[in-house]
Structure 1
């Protein structure tokens, strides 16, 4: 039986090329040539293929060596590189059955580098590799120590894959040692983790290793029970190599049970896969199982042939544990052929290897073979010694403690079977209660209908309440909007009453005086400049009122185009120049020509006019108003600076507030609507700009606003 190890793959094999034989040749059912001729031909064929396998084998290891050296030559190379450590671990593992001393050296290096790099995954893999080395040498205590250390680290970093690898190998080491109680406990712990993480590959491997424990106790029926579970898991995995490993082990079980046809079918199924994928270690095992099947049939020539194929592969491996069964099988074959001296050589060699690696099962089997050999030689004293040793080892392996541990699991599986039978019985009993269930269902349906009607009524009521809530919210919103409209109306009438009615009434009174002859023409002409200013004020106020009213009622509609800031400023300077001249105020623009912006021309025009008008309004006689611009990354910054009376910080904070209603007389008692700056703010922001003010009392004021630059894409759009 071959225990699964899990590390870089589902098996512990290295890959080499092996010739694939036809099943008919393997079983010897259609050959008509004399046996010795057939045997020589097959041996020659396998020898040719074996040389190819060695080349392929070495090539794979050389490839890993090359990758390691390539990594070492890289610029900035460090032994703490996790990729380099992973390569070392893989290289070490590839040496396991070929150069075990290199496995030891490289694994120690990887462990040291992993510790210095604080790379726990690499350290865990290195410890598992070291465990393999000591396991193959039969140093159970050292191997168990390494696997336990690896398991502890894997648990600390919560790496389930490494945890399962270490747990499986630790349990396997207890099995090699003959401590089946701890082995079973370890496998069950691993199985629990695999099931929790839904790792079906490890479920397959661990379950198969549990089956191996039963096989070692010759409880073949229970072993087959677990192998069938493994086959079911493998069907879902769809991994041919995993299935082939199971077939090989089942072939060995069936051979031990005497079901040789089943044994031959399973082992041939495994061989075809191992040969296809060049899996040397498992292929050597499968050949050995096939030799065992022929040995059971007492077809010694064919048994020896397949044992020889396995032996040939073992020459390229250093797998002492697997070689023991092979050598003992060859010893039994030569014993059956009557070649006792050759048989003894193989049996002694197997016995010595078993002793070297402390493998009790191997020593037990070899002791039995040596007993038979010495009995045939009539060396009864030596035969008795070997028989006593065989009996002692058998008692040790099958001690009550181990059997009890396995019986627990057997009881568990029997419980599962009984549980299934109880379920079937319960289903039969439930069938007799279906009438009661049907009656209960009718009552339940009535209850559901009533509940549905109640729920439906509640839902309707809930919908009505929601509809009422929405209508109430709508009414509240309409009420709020109506209040805003009333406020707008009140403000509009207030402005018309105070700022428009006064100048219009004065103009009307003056005309009536002139009409009635109460003033002369010369006197009337003297009032013309004042009348002109009043009309300009009325016009300006009306323009602001209309723009503000449209914004309040319908919202500002912005239609951006390419506009010339310098032209807009010039037009407004011309428009307001007479008002400025009246107060001897200089209007100066330093905006360069072709200062093109992207915005609504009318709205920008209103902003510029309001800001210049305000500057004139609050600048004393003989003052100056300057309009300048500055180009930024994506916008123009326009500044309108005056030498006026300025304003305090409180006024600056409220000046743009729509609800502030700040109306201040100018230096010449000019009137205002209180709308200009709030309207400017809204229009500037509609054109994706910003507006702000900087001012000091008696030092003057500067209003700034920004407007996006006209890029080429805007110009094309216009």
Structure 2
């Protein structure tokens, strides 16, 4: 019966749904095909534009680096958006070349490696070898000759296999320079001659003139100036054919150097001036500077001070032009990079949004199709089970609410238990410390007092020694009294609801009384205590609390100040309507770790400059009392220079 019911119920519904899905598939298929064709056309146009921008940037980089870099960044964005990997790798390769050209060697190397990784993924062996060659050049420039030679050899193997004669000639020129730098003159000569022969054979003028120039450098190293001059002149002739002013300037400079070493001053000056003129055309300021320096040096050798001075002025002008040009260049370069970073960020966001939209659209179509089918099949079952699910859902919701409430209560209870445990641990620590202080720091002075009094009463010590011992007892009595006051006042402060009345306290008089209390230890260590507190200054607070705090700080200063030291107690009113009372000494000071312990309200105890002992309780009590009064204890100290303890208290 149930199966026949479903058959009867679903038939009239299923037929139109299947027809709708079939129609949807046909329409979607047709639309998708049209969209793909349009997308492919747009992608082809974008790839063509990427290649065009790359070529334009390559042509621009010699005379407008900023514009070249800007075009490369635009090409990079287009390549990323269109997933054009080869175009992106080429763009990164050209970008790295510009970074290397402008001295950003680390960024250049990183960008070269990015380009190399993409070419590797595309299995583009030729371009991988070209990138390796440029990486080798960068490594050689940074002094990594071994790695550079290895990469050159790898690239040479690839170019030989692919029979790329032009790149083989370029590699031999580069390898020869590394070998020349390593003073392997015969090996370098063989590399340069290979490059020369290949360049002549395939009419590669750039490789030919570079080979002649490199051979000139080699013969100059060997002090064979005649051969060196011959090679430079051949290289110069090709530079003139190619209208390469930069190369011509380099050759003229080397000729000027040779002529000067040969004592041919006039020829050296002529070549140096030619180098200057060629370099000026292409704004090659370093070459202009070197040419000027060469002219000046030769004129000085000839004792022609007037002309040397004229060229000295020319050199200054070149340096000024170079500085101005480099400044403008750097600003433009940085501006382009900043703009690109912003564009990259926006492009990444846009790309992410587009991907997200595409995913959502695909998901909607897929889910929509399945939903239509599932809804058609499950509609009847959903209707039958609706009331039942509603009942169970309501019951489940109520139970979940009860569980959540119980869970929240349990969490709160656990937090309270953890907090109580922490408080109990702190109370146990405090109890143990109090027992230690009472059993040792209070009991020991009483035992000492009894022993000294017995000795004095029985006449077992001379009168002078008895006087000294009694003075010692008086000092010990002061410390014991101070400790007992601290303990009693701290215990009183821990009892809820116990608080003294606040009265007007004259601070100058309070410090004066405390100074008298500390008269014996001050006299013993010959310490000068200067009460510089304003005589009219008063504050409304708990008097006993203020006395305990000030006494502890003064006692602490006496304890850690050397003999003949100084303690200054000063006061001031701050702009924040607070009183600042400072106890400053020139004693031994405190380390950072000690200050951190004091600020963390931890027990900190150490012996004084005359081996005075303490309980380590005073500073903790001071910070606690000041904090309860709404104030703050500020500690400033430097080992060997003294400490300053400042009480900051609100006036009202």
If the TM-score is normalised by the length of the shorter chain, which range does it land in? 0.3 to 0.5
The one of the two structures with greater contact order (alpha-carbon pairs below 8 A, sep at least 6) is 1
Q: Which has the larger radius of gyration?
A: 1
Normalised TM-score (structure 1): 0.34
Give 1 or 2: higher helix fraction.
Answer: 2
